[in-house]
C-alpha cells in the first residue's frame, strides 16, 4: 500500500510541475502574442493572395439594398474578426460605423475596415492597425481565425491533390 501512496504522490508532484510549466509558458506566449500574430501573418502572405477577397470600398444601394456601381480595394484580404462598431469613423466623425472588421491583406498587414451607410451610399474607411491593436480590439479570435483559415486551406489542398492523384491513376493505370 505504501508503494501505491508513493506512486500517487509522485504523479501529483509531476502534475504540479506540469501546471507550473504551463503557467510560465502561457505567460511567455501572452507577452509575445503580437509578435506571434505578426509572424503568422508574414507566413501566410502567398496564401492570402490566392484565397483573399476583394472588399467593397464603396457603392450605391438600390431600393432593395442591392449594391451597384461598386468599387473595390485593389488588394485581396481575408476577414479575421468582427467587433462592435465604433461610434464614428476616424476619417469623418459625422459618419456612423455600421460594420467593423479586422482584415489581413495580401501583403501581411492588418486593417480595420469600417463601413458606413446612409441608405443610398455605402462607403468604407480602411484603417491600418498593428498586430497588438488587432489583438486588443478583436481579441484572440483573430489569431484563431488566421490559424483556422490556414488549416482549412491545407485540408482543401490535400483534397485537391488526392483527387488529382486518383485522376492520374485512372487515366494512366500502372
Q: For the segment 110-157, what is each residue's pLDDT rounded down to a tens digit?
A: 999 999 998 889 999 999 999 999 999 999 999 999 999 998 888 888
**Rounded to whole angstroms, how far apart are CA atoms 151 and 53?**
18
Residue 83: pLDDT band by 50, 70, 90 thresholds?
A: very high
82 DSSP β-pair partners: 101
**Rounded to whole angstroms, how far apart are CA atoms 98 and 90?**
14
Does 36 have pLDDT greater than 90? yes
CB contact at 8 A, 100 and 111: no
Averaged pLDDT of the chain: 91
Mean pLDDT of 55-65: 89
Give me the pLDDT at residue 77, please: 97
Amino acid at each position: 500500500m505504501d508503494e501505491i501512496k508513493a506512486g500517487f504522490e509522485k504523479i501529483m508532484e509531476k502534475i504540479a510541475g506540469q501546471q507550473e510549466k504551463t503557467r510560465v509558458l502561457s505567460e511567455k506566449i501572452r507577452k509575445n502574442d503580437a509578435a506571434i500574430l505578426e509572424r503568422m501573418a508574414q507566413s501566410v502572405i502567398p496564401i492570402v493572395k490566392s484565397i483573399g477577397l476583394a472588399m467593397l470600398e464603396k457603392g450605391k444601394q438600390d431600393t432593395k439594398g442591392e449594391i451597384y456601381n461598386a468599387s473595390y480595394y485593389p488588394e485581396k484580404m481575408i476577414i479575421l474578426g468582427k467587433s462592435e462598431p465604433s461610434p464614428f469613423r476616424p476619417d469623418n466623425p459625422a459618419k456612423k460605423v455600421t460594420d467593423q472588421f479586422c482584415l489581413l491583406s495580401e501583403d501581411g498587414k492588418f486593417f480595420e475596415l469600417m463601413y458606413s451607410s446612409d441608405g443610398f451610399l455605402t462607403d468604407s474607411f480602411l484603417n491600418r492597425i498593428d498586430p497588438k491593436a488587432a489583438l486588443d480590439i478583436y481579441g484572440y479570435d483573430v489569431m484563431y481565425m488566421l490559424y483556422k483559415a490556414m488549416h482549412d486551406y491545407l485540408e482543401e489542398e490535400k483534397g485537391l491533390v488526392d483527387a488529382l492523384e486518383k485522376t492520374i491513376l485512372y487515366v494512366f493505370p500502372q
